Structure 1
Amino acid sequence: MERRAFYKNGTLPWLLIAPQLILVFVFFYWPTSQALYWAFTLEQAWGGGNSWVGFDNFMSLFHDGRYWNTVGRSAFYAITATGLSMVVALMLAMFVDRALKGTRLFQSVFVWPYAIAAPAAGVAFRFIFSPEAGLIGSINQMWPGIWNPAINGWHALGMVIVCHAWLGIGYNFIFFLAALQMIPRSISEAGAMDGARPMQRMLDLQLPLIAPTVFFLLIINLISSFTDSFGLIDVMTEGGPIGSTEVMVYKLYVDGFKGLDYSGAAAQSIVLMVLVIALTFVQFKWVERRIHYN
């Protein structure tokens, strides 16, 4: 039987949700409205307010070749980091789900990276991948110049992607392990009795059954890769070398807070917001139809 709470006092429910509504308005809707205002206006050269320019800021943005390079780099960053994080997390969840010796310890250890702040992880990975010290430093001593993210853009981008994927493994691991443990053991046992190897059972039996979880994590990881990469990039590379690690969210910061192009940065924030909304809409409306929940 469904139970609902009824309030005789009509103002009490509004008082209870008022703090949350205030937080949402102050930290979400108000900044969004200001970004919209700045995106369609342009500050006068000598002050005195903003003048309405319509879509000029967006047209200038779309005709900028550097911006499109940033969009492509952001897409590559998001797809690669998401794929790497989810594949590794799924493999770890598969091993832990087999209930081998020490799995209780692994269940807690694999979650630890998710509790580490992104800037702290960035500092640690910057040292690990340093060409002069750390683990990679010893490799550079044997093969000089084989690794140097300070001058090689692909090395720097790969370093940031690996760190971002590592941070997301713990989060993905929790969901994958929970989904795998919801699958009846009889299904895996039946596959084993039919001669299916562990990898074949994962591809043919377990992975289709946890498709809703995979779909959910795919959305969350892609959105996180587009929007939550600022801290890592600022600590590890600051967008360099020569802009090779400059993704959309970091270019927005550079143009707005360092270049003082508030209108252009606001237009970039609107484009990023629309991109994330469109990505989520397409995934829910198109991909979801190809996933069986029952």
Structure 2
Amino acid sequence: MLKPTPAPAAEVEERAVFGGRALPWLFLLPSLAILAVFIYLPALQTLRLAAYRANVILGTERFVGLANFAELLSSPTYLQVVAQTLVFTVLTVSLGLLCSLALAWLASRPVRGAKTYRLLLIYPYALSPAIAGTLWLFLFNPEIGVVNQLLGAAFQIKPRWLDTPLLAFGLVTLAAIWKGLAYNIVFYLASIQNLPGDVMEAAQIDGATPAQVFWRVAFPLLTPITFFLVFTNIIAALFDSFALTDILTRGGPYTGNAGATTFLVYQLYQDGFVNFKTGAAAAQAALMLVLVAFITFMQFRVGERRVHYGG
């Protein structure tokens, strides 16, 4: 009777075997403890506070159930902030990704000094949002800003960038787009440099124009990184706009029921840390959590169908 030939030693799969069931959890314990202290417990505390109205001065709390959510969703101020945030997010993500892709495509071309151009494009990524906001504040200061000095000398006009609602909104949007360009360019540039050269050359040999090569060949191959950047840019627009808004406009100038540049995260800060409405702030945090979860679901449910994986 023939016996099965044993597999060579090199082909034998080695599997890690723990001494007991508790040992893997022991290795995970430090990470789980940090997550519990800094993420899970604060999140649970936020959900609890959303059901209360607290008096910070007296140190009292009163259970109100879903009243904080009902008040927010019926508040004209909060609805205006939601609308402004949606417009800001759409403009920041769409224009930011479009400009980033165009600049990354140009920076990937084999020209003299390409490394210097790439370094200058990526440089803003090293700046914190607070420093970026300060730079834009000095540039667009209505009185002493460099931009108004040039406009005054050339056209005798000095726009009130920080006092006019539409100009202030556009300024914060442009600052957010500029701040996110470097992050997007890093990913796009790396992806473009790793595109299959034989596919690109085959398209050119077949008579495709540069525009057709980009839109019909390169862009479909870049959809996975675009899919990733769309999601990360939405999160950045929702949460990372605080520093730019606070330094440039502090949520103003006020128009209607809220400031023209008051977005969700800045409204949460004002209610929680300026007006000490902890219940309303906690309810806003919970709604933003639901919003992010919904965006994530829609991205993977709808967006992934248009994503092309593979060479």
Deviations along 1:127-153, whole A, 9 cap, x unmatched?
112222212332134445552122211
Q: Matches of 1:183 and 1:8 in 2, distance apart?
A: 46
Matched-pair contact (CA < 8 Å) for 2:149–2:158: no
Deviations along 1:45-67, whole A, 9 cap, x unmatched?
98463222111000000110111
Residue in structure 1 matched with residue 184 of structure 2 by the alignment = 172
Cα deviation, residue 41, structure 1: 1.2
Matched-pair contact (CA < 8 Å) for 1:40–1:56: yes
Q: Matches of 1:253 and 1:97 in 2, distance apart?
A: 41
Structure 1 runs (4+) greater than 6 angstroms displaced: none
1:289 maps to a residue whose letter is R
Q: Matches of 2:59 and 2:180 in 1, distance apart?
A: 46
Matched-pair contact (CA < 8 Å) for 2:164–2:253: yes
1:282 maps to a residue whose letter is M
Residue in structure 2 matched with residue 25 of structure 1 by the alignment = 36
- The answer to whether the aligner puts 1:66 opposite 2:77 as a matched pair is yes
Aligned length: 294
1:38 maps to a residue whose letter is L
1:78 maps to a residue whose letter is T
Cα deviation, residue 9, structure 1: 5.5
Q: Matches of 1:85 and 1:5 in 2, distance apart?
A: 46
CA 168–54 in structure 1, closer or farther in 2 if over 3 Å, else same = same
1:91 to 84, 99, 102: 102
Cα deviation, residue 237, structure 1: 0.9
Q: What is the correspondence of 1:150-165 to structure 2 with a 5 Å cutoff? A: 150-165=162-177
Q: Could you tell which deviates more after superposition, 131-140 or 266-275?
A: 131-140
Superposition TM-score, scaled by structure 2 size: 0.88
- The answer to whether the aligner puts 1:189 opposite 2:195 as a matched pair is no
Q: What is the correspondence of 1:214-293 to structure 2 with a 5 Å cutoff? A: 214-242=226-254, 243-293=259-309
- The answer to whether the aligner puts 1:77 opposite 2:88 as a matched pair is yes
Which is greater in Rg? 2
- Structure 1, unaligned runs of 5 or more: none
Q: What is the correspondence of 1:109-148 to structure 2 with a 5 Å cutoff? A: 109-132=120-143, 133-145=145-157, 147-148=159-160
Superposition TM-score, scaled by structure 1 size: 0.93
Q: Matches of 1:138 and 1:246 in 2, distance apart?
A: 29
Matched-pair contact (CA < 8 Å) for 1:81–1:164: yes
Q: Matches of 1:46 and 1:176 in 2, distance apart?
A: 51
- Structure 2, unaligned runs of 5 or more: 1-10
Q: Could you tell which deviates more after superposition, 222-231 or 102-111?
A: 102-111
1:112 maps to a residue whose letter is Y
1:41 to 42, 52, 73: 52
Cα deviation, residue 290, structure 1: 2.6
Q: Matches of 1:65 and 1:37 in 2, distance apart?
A: 25
1:259 maps to a residue whose letter is N
